[in-house]
């Protein structure tokens, strides 16, 4: 980091601070992960210098030979991993991937049926504060508040009544497996497009740890930095019949020049995702998540959905004398990072919430297994049961640092 230090020492200080935070804390936000050194090298490469508007073989700038090479590699690897007919790897984020899909098949005022944000959905699935809720006519489906699971029969009834143009599935805080085949059938019944947003579970899908939506959806969008463990970015998978419309919606519809250093890093990420080690890693994420759920339930905590099938658990704190915000802050005090999250039937504001979302991808990346995860779950329980006990929290913080020392993140990074 010599050159950053010389040019912008305050930025260098912030980078060192973040490196220290990641190394010495337990990162358990379900949407976060740690990229490999190979991914970070590609993203920090000279690929950042080049404009490459357009697509391989059809660029608006000269000098794109190597840009074409890395984007074509990303295409080949993504299609091999997910078994789709077409892919666009240029979206800057998952939200921009969703935006491009909407633009490719919807007109302003068309109807979207998506999961409610407080029940586990995402802003870009039609929330009124988001462009998707401003441009389109939206209804949201809910999970059953008793079971914490999607009510597929109720969703079907709602779809037949609302008659949406597109049904958006997938979630940002849903701990159970999603039945994409059933959702595809519902979309067919009402002659709607089906967009499956697998931003959270893409790595699990790639490794066969979660059923794939590709055979059951017209469009599949994802980020590349969550369970896929790549750079921050987005991607769209679709059938060949939608390829031209999707590509046009990405460029020039919603974006200009692609971030080619990120596309290069995506190609690296996809190469990693083609390995047996990656499949084993995804299996460990799920095993660790189930161990986390079991231990928290044994400690007396209430989980939305009564457990997990994927990479996260959602703790419902409404029976406790603590809010999601208070829980997040208490855990951050001891070096455990989670995020406050709404729960089905939420009555608190989004800045307070009645729950916390806890994930296992990042700790699994560090090499932790079920034994360590169970240990961490008990630490979480101790803190949440005694948020004002500073002496207890100090002891937990010491245990957190010891665990981090046992599983260094980037041992060769200064």
Burial of residue 300, with CB atoms counted within 10 A of its CB: 0-12 exposed, 13-18 middle, 19 or more buried: exposed
Q: How far is CA 150 from CA 155, 179, 346, 392, in A?
A: 8, 9, 16, 39
Cβ-contact 192, 166 below 8 angstroms: yes
117 is an annotated ligand-binding site residue = yes
Residue 226 annotated among the catalytic residues of the structure: yes
Query: Any idea which residue has 């806890």 for tokens?
Result: 358
Tell me how far apart the alpha carbons of residues 179 and 12 are, in angstroms, rounded to a whole number: 46
Selected catalytic residue, list 165, 197, 316, 348:
197
Tell me how far apart the alpha carbons of residues 116 and 299 are, in angstroms, rounded to a whole number: 30
Edge-to-edge strands, sheet with 355-359: 302-303, 312-316, 355-359, 339-341
Residue 223 annotated among the catalytic residues of the structure: yes
Q: How far is CA 180 from CA 195, 218, 312, 413, in A?
A: 10, 11, 19, 41
122 is an annotated ligand-binding site residue = yes
Selected catalytic residue, list 16, 23, 50, 53:
53
Q: What is the DSSP track for 132-198?
A: HHHHSEEEEE-B-TTT-SB-HHHHHHHHHHH--SEEEE--SS--S---HHHHHHHHHHTT-EEEEE-
Cβ-contact 77, 235 below 8 angstroms: no
Selected catalytic residue, list 232, 318, 378, 382:
232
Selected catalytic residue, list 16, 50, 51, 389:
51
Tell me how far apart the alpha carbons of residues 202 and 178 are, in angstroms, rounded to a whole number: 12
Cβ-contact 72, 56 below 8 angstroms: yes
Selected catalytic residue, list 176, 226, 290, 366:
226
User: In degrees rounded to 5, what are phi and psi of residue 303?
Assistant: -110, 135
Residue 197 annotated among the catalytic residues of the structure: yes
Cβ-contact 73, 267 below 8 angstroms: yes
Residue 141 annotated among the catalytic residues of the structure: no
The alpha carbons of the chain give a radius of gyration, in whole angstroms, of: 21
**What is the DSSP pairing of strand 355-359 with strand 339-341?**
antiparallel
Tell me how far apart the alpha carbons of residues 345 and 36 are, in angstroms, rounded to a whole number: 38
Question: Would you list which residues are annotated within the binding site?
Answer: 117, 121-123
Active site residues: 51, 53, 197, 223, 226, 232
Question: Would you list which residues are annotated within the binding site for (6S)-5,6,7,8-tetrahydrofolate?
Answer: 117, 121-123
């Amino acid at each position: 980091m010599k050159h950053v230090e010389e040019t912008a020492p305050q930025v260098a200080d912030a980078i060192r601070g973040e490196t220290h935070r990641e190394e010495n804390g337990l990162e358990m936000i379900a949407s976060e992960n740690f990229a490999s050194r190979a991914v970070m090298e590609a993203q920090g490469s000279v690929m950042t210098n080049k404009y490459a508007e357009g697509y391989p073989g059809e660029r608006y700038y000269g000098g794109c030979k190597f840009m074409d090479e890395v984007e074509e590699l990303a295409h080949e690897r993504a299609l091999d991993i997910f078994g789709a007919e077409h892919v666009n790897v240029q979206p800057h984020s998952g939200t921009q991937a969703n935006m491009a899909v909407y633009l490719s098949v919807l007109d302003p005022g068309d109807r979207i049926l998506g999961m409610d944000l407080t029940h586990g959905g995402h802003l870009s699935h039609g929330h009124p504060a988001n462009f998707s809720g401003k441009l389109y006519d939206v209804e949201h489906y809910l999970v059953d508040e008793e079971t914490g699971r999607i009510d597929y029969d109720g969703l079907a009834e709602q779809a037949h009544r609302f008659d949406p143009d597109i049904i958006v599935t997938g979630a940002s805080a849903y701990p159970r497996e999603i039945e994409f085949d059933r959702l595809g059938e519902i979309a067919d019944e009402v002659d709607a497009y089906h967009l499956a947003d697998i931003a959270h579970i893409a790595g699990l899908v790639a490794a066969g740890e979660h059923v794939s939506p590709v055979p059951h959806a017209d469009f599949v969008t994802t980020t590349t930095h969550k369970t896929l463990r790549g750079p921050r970015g987005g991607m769209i998978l679709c059938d060949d019949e939608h390829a031209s419309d999707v590509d046009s919606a990405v460029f020039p519809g919603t974006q200009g020049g692609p971030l080619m250093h990120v596309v290069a890093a995506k190609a690296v990420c996809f190469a990693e995702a083609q390995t047996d080690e990656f499949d084993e890693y995804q299996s460990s994420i799920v095993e660790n998540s189930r161990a986390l759920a079991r231990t928290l339930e044994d400690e007396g905590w209430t989980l939305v959905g009564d457990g997990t099938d994927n990479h996260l658990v959602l703790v419902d704190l409404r029976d406790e004398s603590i809010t999601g915000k208070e829980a997040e802050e208490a855990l951050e005090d001891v070096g455990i990072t989670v995020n406050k999250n709404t729960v089905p039937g939420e009555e608190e504001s989004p800045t307070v919430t009645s729950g916390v979302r806890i994930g296992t991808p990042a700790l699994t990346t560090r090499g932790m297994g079920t034994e360590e995860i169970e240990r961490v779950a008990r630490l979480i329980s101790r803190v949440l049961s005694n948020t004002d006990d500073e002496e207890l929290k100090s002891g937990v913080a010491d245990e957190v640092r010891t665990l981090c020392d046992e599983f260094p993140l980037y041992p060769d990074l200064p």
